[in-house]
């Protein structure tokens, strides 16, 4: 009988946060990033948490359920085309700040967990970091030149998400020959772009952009082969929770997509995700706990 080769240890990452703190990430043992949408038109819960007190209460509830960090977004980035219709309405940086900053300040007073700000606008990121945010989640991957200046100056972590084209039309203009290879190459280019503008490579995370300019089949392929993206050497954030591809494949409405979202989360963890951006924290944490116990028991029995 051949001797069983022990698995390689998971890759670890140490990211520097503002105010002298650190964030440790482990590929395959994902941090749970709870979503707080402070918007009237997000696809999953549009309007429910637009009032500041409702958003703060929701964030605290996600932390009580076991979220390791929170992602606060005050502009819906729902793309246009396909099942999304016309997409979300863009908002001005001023309106985005008006929604975001009171919630961010209130949560910062109540918790020390990392707080991410989901924004495309460098000036919004600057004010959010000054108000206590720890990292920036940029769906435009430095589409705003000011963002690179802000992040480089702050020295904070930055998530670079893959997307092609404009939010308003990207679901109508889907063209890939090999979606995994092309997304990987384009994310690698954005990482190099960020480094060239003064952002440390060790502070950069990548996100395949599930649901942003991809078909349902392409989203599935990206999740199935997430380890190909992890091979870039950057921590991978996976945001598949409640996305439209789950509905396309199963027929489930937005509020009925938890089972499909859990399947994507578990597979993403298996393929090396370091962060899962999720809406349903308690269910995801329970599923991951059991999955990890089963995986460990399976390894001992092999």
87 — alpha (psi -120 to 50), left (phi > 0) or beta?
A: left
Structure tokens at 258: 């938890």
Catalytic residue among 184, 243, 257, 271: 243
Neighbours of 157 (CB within 10 A): 26
Closest CA to 240 of 208, 283, 272, 288: 208
Q: Cα–Cα distance between 22 and 291 in angstroms, integer?
A: 27
Asked if 214 is an active-site residue, the reply is no
Q: Tokens representing 237?
A: 């954030």
Catalytically annotated residue among 78, 97, 277, 285:
277
Place of tokens 């859990």: 262
CA distance 242 to 173: 22
Burial class (CB in 10 A: 0-12, 13-18, 19+), 164: middle
Q: Which residues are catalytic?
A: 243, 277
């Amino acid at each position: 009988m051949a001797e069983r080769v022990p698995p390689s240890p998971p890759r670890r990452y140490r990211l520097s946060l503002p105010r002298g703190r650190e964030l440790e990430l482990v590929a395959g043992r994902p941090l749970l990033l709870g979503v707080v949408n402070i918007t009237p038109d997000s696809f999953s819960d549009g309007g429910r948490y637009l009032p500041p007190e409702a958003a703060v209460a929701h964030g605290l509830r996600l932390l009580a359920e076991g979220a390791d960090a929170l992602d606060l977004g005050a502009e819906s980035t729902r793309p246009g085309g396909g099942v999304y219709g016309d997409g979300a309405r863009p908002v001005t940086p001023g309106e985005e700040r008006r929604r975001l900053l009171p919630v961010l300040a209130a949560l910062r007073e109540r918790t020390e967990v990392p707080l991410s700000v989901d924004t495309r606008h460098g000036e919004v990121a600057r004010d959010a970091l000054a108000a206590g945010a720890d990292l920036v989640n940029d769906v435009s991957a430095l589409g705003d030149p000011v963002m690179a200046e802000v992040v480089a100056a702050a020295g904070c972590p930055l998530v670079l998400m893959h997307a092609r084209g404009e939010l308003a039309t990207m679901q109508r203009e889907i063209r890939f020959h090999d979606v995994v290879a092309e997304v990987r190459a384009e994310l690698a280019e954005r990482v190099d772009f960020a480094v060239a503008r003064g952002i440390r490579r060790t502070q950069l995370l990548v996100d395949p952009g599930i649901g942003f300019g991809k078909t349902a089949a392409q989203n599935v392929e990206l999740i199935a082969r997430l380890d190909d993206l992890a091979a870039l050497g950057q921590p991978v954030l996976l945001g598949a929770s409640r996305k439209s591809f789950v509905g396309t494949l199963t027929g489930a409405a937005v509020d009925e997509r938890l089972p499909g979202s859990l399947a994507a989360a578990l597979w993403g963890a298996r393929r090396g995700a370091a962060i899962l951006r999720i809406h349903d924290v308690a269910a995801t944490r329970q599923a991951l706990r059991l999955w990890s116990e089963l995986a460990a028991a399976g390894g001992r029995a092999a």
